[in-house]
Structure 1
Amino acid sequence: MPGFDPRAPETYWGLFRRESRLTATRRAMAITVGDPDRSPDGLRLDWRVEADGAQTRYTLLRWDDIVAARFPRGNARRLLAVPALWWRLWRSGYLRRFRREARRFSRVIIGVHLIYLALVGLSVLGAIGLVGLLPLPAGHWTDLAVPVLAYAILAGLMGATRGKPFYVAHLVDDTAFTHDHAGGTDARMQARLDAFADLIRAADGRAGEIVVIGHSSSSFLGIEALDRVLTRDPEFGRRGTPVSFVSIGSVIPWITLDPRAVAVRAALARVAACDAIGWLDVRAKWDWLSIHRRNPLSASRVPAPAAHRPVEIQVRIEDLIEKRILKRRKWNLFRMHFQLLMSSRDPHAFDYVAFVAGPEPVHAAIRRWRDGAEHPRARVTAESAVP
């Protein structure tokens, strides 16, 4: 399950195929990635992977259409919604908790909104300056020209900062989606999660194992989808098909710290308490677009039902890419955010392709790390939750 990304799902297939070639070379593996196939209902993109004899059906659960409907939003909608959202978050005490649990990530999110505020201010000042230069008659024409010009200037500035290195529109709209979702107000997303739950549940008994992977915003959407499966089928994961959840680049506390996220916190608690579903949290301190100070349960004020819940591994950036490349990419935050979905430079480090498609089952790797047999290049940590 990808994050808040409007790109076509074939983009992820292309990324996986490209990185699988690197993994095959670096690890002396035989990896074949099949062609992608969109389902008739448009909910998924499937492809087959064969890696050293292991067969994997990789399914991308799609919500890029929902993202595309929300990003980019119109500037008029942002101008009304952003102040209302931040006023609510400040009054509820969310910002204080968010800054404590997500030090780097909160700086990015708050910083981007400050940039947005500065762009609005620059637009107004620029419009006032332009009106002063135009030969307009005094009175109502001047009053009307300022907001019209300011809106046009803002539209241009938002377009210019939509992509790297600022990603202003993306992160502002992503924040709006996250906090709308906390209140359960997006009916399309709720229906999509129901459909995802049906797809996940349908794989039970038909595969050697089921692995649900949530990257970025899908770290909490994946939890919600699995909770829906458990609600409909309490025996899910107990009939012989191992089930695992893998959160990568997790931002779970981003939503669970919102007082309105009652349903999301309840889903998190129920999935965490279900010992039939293994859970691995792949963490990276160098990823500014993830939350990694504490495990997602303790950060969300949800009691951990047992030690190593979730099992956590810390991945070093030096094991994934060379230092000379790191110097170029370090401040490309989105590129770094995707690094854990790519091949690793070190053949003994965590490698996404080898992890999800290699011969060792994912549930076996999680159990091995949980029991203390540490990954050669990943440190396993455990933490007790703080009520």
Structure 2
Amino acid sequence: MSSDVDKLQCSADQQVRRRKVLYIPGYDPFHPRRYRELYRKESAAQAEISGYEIALKANQGKGPYGWHVDAVIDGMNVGTDFEVLVWSDIVKETMTQNIPRTYLMLARTAWTYVGSGAFFRLLKTRKGPMIAALYPIFMLTLQLVLACALGALTGSVTSWLIHGWLYLPAFAATVAAVLILCRKIDNKLFAYYLMHDYSWSARDHGASPPELEQKLSEFRARLTDVTTQGYDEILVIGHSSGAHIGVSLLADFLRTPEGGKPETRLSFLTIGQVVPMVSFLKKAKRLRADLHLMAAQQYIPWVDVTAPGDGCAFALCDPVSVTGVAPENKSWPLVFSAAFTQSLTPARWKELRWRFFRLHFQYLCAFDAPKDYDYFQITAGPVTLWERYKNRPASKSRMETPLSPYKDMA
């Protein structure tokens, strides 16, 4: 980290009595109340393990969806107002595709990554997210092969028992039935879910789609409004796909007159990020420019937390450096690991190890053997994000090699 950043961020009082958290979910079609209930359950568990007090209550009346947290940590009372920056309406719309269109999306998405060369560069980062990327392609192809095999068997039997002309109707009916059944149990398989996620990211070859730009405009207006409300810290959190949305949100904010005021104390936390899945694509010029800006700016400390145990994230990949847009005076992000294998007891790790989707949400959950990453102390504790981690060294095993096939910026 540069000395200028250290001086700027640590010169002011880092004590927090009132905090605002703006949370940006990943590609998630569900109502944001699921995050409130997750926070309620997991914060109570962490408070019992770590010996502090924390309580949550829902917001009353109209307005953005959120909740209020009161905590007593290290003997200090802290109040935190949580707000979810909702973009689930976009996700729901992209997930309403029928089965044939989903297979068309599969072919188009695969070609976008392979044809651009991004896929082969992504293979050089981490194996986990690339296995996750290949999983829906494999699973959906397997479902189609299985459906066709059963269709051929059913058609042959029907043709033999009844009449030859019934082969094609029986074949088509069986294929349709098997694929519909697979679609109905996707809440267990996640093949369609992941396929829609990757397809949305690749739809415009990494360019920010108009509906997302509209959301970013709304989010920026909300952030600007919050900075006038007297909070000691405004903490923006981007989880999974929400990480690159957060990068663009804060980059846009810094380009406004309000964004250049040092007294506006903002912090940025990215967790379980999948930034390279977008930033490596040909037309992701806007995102690459935003990463470049956020890496050198002197106002917003940015901490990036992942874990090798999370197979869906680009663990310990510096999103700026691997994209190849790091400026000479790069200061951010501070990259380190949540160390799931050390922060969870052996019994708990054994229980969660193969639950990949659940592990992708572990950053928002309690650790039964916590180290220096505690989501609830970060969001409800008495010090700012940077005060908490200013002396924390970056992980030595982080990846910083420029790998993206495209480095041009908007």
Q: 1:38 to 1:107 in 2, by over 3 A?
A: farther
Q: 1:155 to 1:73 in 2, by over 3 A?
A: same
How far the C-alpha of 1:360 sits from its partner, in A, is 1.3
How far the C-alpha of 1:230 sits from its partner, in A, is 2.4
2:42 and 2:122 mapped to 1: Cα distance?
34
Deviations 1:202-235 (A, max 9, x none): 111322121110000101111111122223x144
Deviations 1:60-98 (A, max 9, x none): 111122212222531111122211221232121111011
Aligned residue for 2:9?
A: none
Q: TM-score, normalised by structure 2?
A: 0.84
Q: 1:315 to 1:39 in 2, by over 3 A?
A: same
Aligned residue for 2:385?
A: 362
Q: 2:210 aligns with which of 165, 187, 191?
A: 187
How far the C-alpha of 1:124 sits from its partner, in A, is 1.3
1:38 and 1:257 mapped to 2: Cα distance?
42
1:297 and 1:38 mapped to 2: Cα distance?
40
Q: 1:163 aligns with which of 164, 173, 187?
A: 187
**8 Å contact 1:319–1:349 — kept in the other structure?**
no
Aligned residue for 1:249?
A: 272
Aligned residue for 1:87?
A: 111
1:333 and 1:383 mapped to 2: Cα distance?
22
1:120 counterpart = 2:147: no
Aligned residue for 2:294?
A: 271
1:50 counterpart = 2:70: yes
**8 Å contact 2:305–2:316 — kept in the other structure?**
no
Aligned residue for 2:323?
A: 300
2:321 and 2:294 mapped to 1: Cα distance?
14
1:220 counterpart = 2:248: no
Q: 1:73 aligns with which of 97, 116, 120?
A: 97
1:10-159 paired onto structure 2 within 5 Å: 10-37=33-60, 39-40=62-63, 44-52=64-72, 53-71=77-95, 73-135=97-159, 137-139=163-165, 142-159=167-184
How far the C-alpha of 1:247 sits from its partner, in A, is 0.5
Q: 1:329 to 1:151 in 2, by over 3 A?
A: same
Q: 1:385 to 1:108 in 2, by over 3 A?
A: closer
**8 Å contact 1:4–1:64 — kept in the other structure?**
yes
2:340 and 2:61 mapped to 1: Cα distance?
33
Deviations 1:180-202 (A, max 9, x none): 26544643222112111111121
2:62 and 2:324 mapped to 1: Cα distance?
39
Of 196-205 and 130-139, more deviation after overlay is shown by: 130-139
1:9 and 1:69 mapped to 2: Cα distance?
16
Larger RCO: 1 or 2 (CA < 8 Å, sep 6+): 2
Q: TM-score, normalised by structure 1?
A: 0.89
Deviations 1:337-384 (A, max 9, x none): 111111222354311011111111223224343xx5x9xxxx577776
1:203 counterpart = 2:226: yes
SS in 1 for 2:270: strand
**8 Å contact 2:338–2:373 — kept in the other structure?**
yes
**8 Å contact 2:207–2:285 — kept in the other structure?**
no
SS in 2 for 1:312: strand
**8 Å contact 1:13–1:36 — kept in the other structure?**
no
**8 Å contact 2:294–2:332 — kept in the other structure?**
no
Letter matched to residue 194 of structure 1 = S
Of 207-216 and 24-33, more deviation after overlay is shown by: 24-33
Letter matched to residue 149 of structure 1 = T
1:105 and 1:2 mapped to 2: Cα distance?
18
1:25 and 1:58 mapped to 2: Cα distance?
21
Q: 1:281 to 1:184 in 2, by over 3 A?
A: same
Question: Cα RMSD over matched residues?
Answer: 2.3
2:112 and 2:48 mapped to 1: Cα distance?
51
1:338 counterpart = 2:347: no
**8 Å contact 1:243–1:363 — kept in the other structure?**
no
Aligned residue for 1:6?
A: 29
**8 Å contact 1:304–1:385 — kept in the other structure?**
no
Deviations 1:30-51 (A, max 9, x none): 21212145754xxx31211121
Q: 1:340 to 1:365 in 2, by over 3 A?
A: same
SS in 1 for 2:382: coil
How far the C-alpha of 1:332 sits from its partner, in A, is 0.7
Q: 1:362 to 1:314 in 2, by over 3 A?
A: same
**8 Å contact 2:288–2:323 — kept in the other structure?**
yes
Percent identical pairs in the alignment equals: 24
Letter matched to residue 242 of structure 1 = R
Q: 1:76 to 1:37 in 2, by over 3 A?
A: farther
Q: 1:79 to 1:261 in 2, by over 3 A?
A: same
Aligned residue for 2:14?
A: none
Q: 1:155 to 1:81 in 2, by over 3 A?
A: same
Task: Provide structure 2 residue ranges, at least 5 long, that are not aligned to the other structure.
Answer: 1-23
Letter matched to residue 181 of structure 2 = G
How far the C-alpha of 1:237 sits from its partner, in A, is 5.2
Q: 1:347 to 1:86 in 2, by over 3 A?
A: closer
Q: Which aligned runs of 4 or more in structure 1 are off by greater than 6 angstroms?
A: 380-383
Letter matched to residue 147 of structure 1 = A
Q: 1:132 to 1:342 in 2, by over 3 A?
A: same
